[in-house]
Structure 1
Amino acid sequence: MNTGLIIAVVAIVLLVAAVAAVVALVLPRQRSRRLRRRFGPEYDRALREHGSRAAAER
């Protein structure tokens, strides 16, 4: 393989990893906002009862 091809492949892999990381960070926040907007005080009560965001949202 030539050097240019290796650099291109590495750049594409890094770009895909960066996009995946951004999606992994943004989607849960959007879900939490939607749930908080939809359920209001009930969402806050579930957070207090379950102790963690993930458990409360399940």
Structure 2
Amino acid sequence: MFARIITSSNYTKHINALLQFSYIESNQLKAHYREINIAKFTQELASEFKSMAKTL
């Protein structure tokens, strides 16, 4: 159960990051740019979706 809560938390974190783009586009949120490792981010996101899919 604890692992599922952690997975849900990570999933929510990634979804919120993606949703912020709509706020930026509507000028409701200002962008703060920083370098990220896009490959690592994409792998983490894919892993979270894969984990969620397995529980369905």
Which interval holds the TM-score relative to the shorter structure?
0.3 to 0.5
TM-score computed with the length of structure 1 as normaliser: 0.43
Over alpha carbons, which structure has the higher Rg?
1
Q: Which has the higher helix share?
A: 1
Higher relative contact order by CA 8 Å / sep ≥ 6: 1 or 2? 2
